[in-house]
Amino acid sequence: MTTAVDHEAATFYVVYDDGSASVMTTTTGEEPPLAKPGAFVSREEYEERQDAIKAARDEYVAGLQAEDERRTREDYEALIASGVPEATARRLSGYTGPDVED
């Protein structure tokens, strides 16, 4: 009869070569195999990578929002210039910023 060896759960932190990161928990007592190229790192290194990923995502989202604001303002200005009433120009363009000065 074979007796199973009980190991406590162990947590491993991974940073992959593609820049992503993950946390793995195992009860085997050994490092789990990685599904893609990467390296096991300390919790601190993992958290630093997570912070960098979040900062990059926040910067990307801010850029998308700025581009959307620019585009809706241009649409709003073009509608106003063509004689569309201000309330209608806002509704059609989606612009919610301040009125455009002449």
Based on the fold, state whether residues 32 and 52 are members of the same structural domain.
no
Q: Is the pTM above the cut of 0.75?
A: no
C-alpha to C-alpha distance for 53 and 18, rounded to whole angstroms: 12
Contact 51, 61 (CB under 8 A): no
Based on the fold, state whether residues 102 and 56 are members of the same structural domain.
yes
Based on the fold, state whether residues 82 and 58 are members of the same structural domain.
yes
Based on the fold, state whether residues 49 and 81 are members of the same structural domain.
yes
9-50 pLDDT per residue, tens: 999 999 999 999 999 999 987 889 999 999 999 999 999 999
50-59 pLDDT per residue, tens: 999 999 999 9
C-alpha to C-alpha distance for 98 and 76, rounded to whole angstroms: 11
Based on the fold, state whether residues 16 and 63 are members of the same structural domain.
no
Q: Give 40's DSSP letter.
A: E
Based on the fold, state whether residues 33 and 52 are members of the same structural domain.
no
CA triplet 19, 21, 27: central angle to 5 degrees? 150
Which structural domain range is residue 14 located in? 1-41
